[in-house]
Structure 1
């Protein structure tokens, strides 16, 4: 898992856009994961993706991304998958 503040540039093969991933830290990552689960422990993707766009995924120039960005640019699944891996997985 990346460490708090660690950054990674990611270029989408789908849309060619470059994104900056910035790790929110271990505690915030855990909060994001917990917040995205419903009362039965099932992950609610929309909540997790909103948090990823708020705390982890930025445009290369530091600007924010949102659902509208991906509606126009495409590459949503590719970018989200890479950002989730960067935020939560070891290695």
Structure 2
């Protein structure tokens, strides 16, 4: 696999999360599952898939979030991680160093 298996990330709010790559085959299945019948990705389906299969610590659900902004931030980072598009994130929040 070209990407690392796990990665710690920090959102703009400063919260830290541990992401785990589910494998290329599972990423393709996730990509298929998040789309509606017209091929348009669903925000809710994407969030559910990322929280279930990629964001491993802390273990959360959509209902765990008080802020849509925080949910969207971590889901975007998780999806960028599994699709190897992290370089497209346009922010100044760095990954968490693993010491």
- Which range, TM-score by smaller chain? 0.7 to 0.9
In structure 2, the partner of 1:83 is 78
In structure 2, the partner of 1:19 is 17
Task: Describe how 1:24-63 pairs up with structure 2 within 5 A.
Answer: 24-59=22-57, 63=58
Counterpart pick for 1:70 among 61, 65, 87 = 65
Number of equivalenced pairs: 85
Poorly superposed stretches of 4+, deviation over 4 Å = none
* 3-state SS of 2:65 partner: helix
What's the offset of the Cα at 1:37?
Answer: 1.1
Question: Could you state the TM-score of these two structures normalised by the residue count of structure 1?
Answer: 0.79
Instruction: List gaps (5 residues or longer) in structure 1.
Output: none
Instruction: List gaps (5 residues or longer) in structure 2.
Output: 88-99
What's the offset of the Cα at 1:84?
Answer: 0.8
RMSD (Å), alpha carbons: 2.2
